[in-house]
């Protein structure tokens, strides 16, 4: 007899959706095997891994299956575990990967906050690795071989995609499956948008009548005049500033402050260079990186 298991909506939306063809293939394989070989992972009666397998069981309750009981301290730990399971299991598209990293980052931040509030590790040893002196974003970035900025922006991307899906159901699945292409920075911006502005932005972003996203034209539009002009404007502004106040270069008490300000500028430029280097490494390794090469720059710096 099929055991009645619960499906938590928040848990279920963490799992990257599979297409109908993939679901049918999974069902055919299970029927051919005559059993479900991978246990369904459950936490307090709630499925944390095996949502699609459980749906197939509901259609074919006679198929043998097994359940693996998980021990989590809280739902954030469960979500982080779910994300890691998915990240290690499937050949994910860049959007899939980024979404899961964003959800994992959000969950692990909450785990760390709870641990800090208690002043102790969470029971069970599941989060011992969090006490390594690194920020959550730094630690995840080191694990996945990407920049800390990528991890932070992944959270914006995941939140933005969930927001879009609430306004127009089905959009998240289309983006994650590659059916719809949208600039990542547009999705990320939804998180920072006013609540009243979100429906219009999402409608514009996913409007079927809108012109399809053209990465080449978008790149030309951004890199062409605007970027070159912005750099010339910065250089010109600095030149005018130093010409107007020559004492900041000649007097010692001013020079110290100028150097401090320039360190901020150098740090900002280094952020750009790191991102360009990351894109170069991907190109050399022949790794597709979707449309995120240009505009994951943190404009809040």
The residues, any chain, with a CB within 8 Å of residue 160's CB and separated by 6 or more, are 187, 188, 189, 190, 191
What is the 8-class DSSP label of residue 130?
G
Q: Are 297 and 272 in contact (CB under 8 A)?
A: yes
Bridging pattern class, strands 46-49 and 67-69: unpaired
User: Tokens for 74?
Assistant: 């809280």
The number of beta carbons lying within 10 Å of the beta carbon of residue 151 is: 24
Nearest to 97 by CA among 170, 151, 169, 18: 151
Residue 17 φ then ψ, to 5°: -65, 145
d(CA 84, CA 80): 6
**Rounded Cα gap, residues 246 and 201, in angstroms:** 47
Residue 12 in 3-state DSSP?
Answer: helix
Helix, coil or strand: residue 295: coil
Secondary element (H or E) of residue 69: strand 67-69
pLDDT at 255: 81
Tell me which residue has tokens 């500033």.
Answer: 241
- Closest listed residue to residue 183, CA positions, set 293, 257, 281: 293
Residues in contact with 11: Cβ distance below 8 Å, sequence separation at least 6, in sequence order? 46, 47, 48, 75, 78, 79, 82
Distance CA 182, CA 175 (A): 7
Looking at the DSSP bridge assignments, the partners of residue 41 are 49, 68
- Spans of all domains in the chain: 9-69, 75-206, 216-284
Report the alpha-carbon distance of residue 296 to residue 301 in Å, rounded. 12
Residue-level pLDDT, tens digit, the chain, 301 residues: 788 899 998 898 888 777 788 889 999 999 999 999 999 999 999 999 999 999 999 999 999 999 999 999 999 999 999 999 988 876 788 899 999 999 999 999 998 888 777 665 444 434 444 455 678 999 999 998 888 999 999 999 999 999 999 999 989 988 988 888 888 988 999 988 899 999 999 998 887 554 455 556 556 656 655 676 777 788 888 788 878 888 887 888 888 888 888 888 887 787 777 777 666 655 555 544 444 443 443 433 3
Strands 40-43 and 46-49, sheet pairing: antiparallel
Helix 148-167 / helix 198-206 crossing angle, nearest 10 deg: 90
How big is the chain by its Cα radius of gyration, in Å? 24
Per-residue CA distances from 283 to 95, 132, 277, 279, 289 (Å): 17, 32, 10, 6, 9
* Contact (Cβ atoms closer than 8 angstroms) between residue 11 and residue 78: yes
User: Over the stretch 203-238, which tens digit does the pLDDT of each residue have?
Assistant: 988 875 544 555 565 566 566 556 767 777 888 887
Full DSSP string of 174-194: HHHTTSS---HHHHHHGGGS-
Could you tell me which of 40, 67, 43, 70 has the C-alpha nearest to residue 55? 40
pTM score of the predicted model: 0.65
């Amino acid at each position: 007899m099929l055991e009645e298991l619960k499906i938590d909506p928040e848990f279920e939306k963490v799992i990257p959706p599979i297409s109908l063809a993939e679901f049918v293939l999974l069902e055919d394989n299970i029927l051919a095997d005559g059993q479900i070989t991978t246990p369904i992972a459950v936490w307090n009666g709630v499925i944390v891994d095996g949502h699609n397998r459980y749906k197939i069981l509901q259609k074919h309750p006679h198929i043998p299956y097994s359940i693996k009981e998980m021990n989590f301290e809280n739902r954030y730990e469960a979500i982080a575990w779910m994300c890691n399971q998915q990240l290690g299991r499937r050949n994910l598209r860049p959007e899939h990967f980024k979404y899961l990293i964003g959800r994992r980052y959000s969950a692990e931040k909450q785990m760390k906050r709870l641990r800090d509030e208690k002043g102790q590790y969470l029971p069970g040893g599941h989060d011992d690795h969090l006490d390594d002196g690194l920020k959550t974003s730094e630690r995840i970035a080191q694990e996945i071989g990407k920049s800390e900025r990528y991890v932070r922006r992944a959270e914006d991307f995941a939140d933005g995609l969930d927001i879009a899906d609430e306004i127009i159901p089905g959009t998240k699945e289309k983006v994650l499956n590659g059916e719809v292409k949208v600039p990542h920075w547009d999705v990320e911006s939804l998180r920072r948008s006013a609540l009243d502005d979100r429906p219009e932005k999402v409608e514009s972003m996913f409007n079927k009548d809108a012109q399809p996203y053209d990465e080449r034209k978008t790149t030309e539009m951004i890199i062409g005049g605007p970027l070159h002009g912005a750099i010339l404007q910065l250089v010109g502004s600095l030149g005018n500033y130093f010409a107007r106040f020559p004492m900041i270069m000649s007097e010692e008490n001013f020079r110290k402050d100028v150097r401090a300000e320039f360190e901020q500028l150098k740090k900002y430029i280094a952020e750009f260079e790191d991102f360009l280097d990351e894109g170069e490494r991907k190109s050399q390794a022949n790794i597709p990186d979707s449309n995120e090469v240009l505009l994951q720059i943190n404009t809040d710096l």
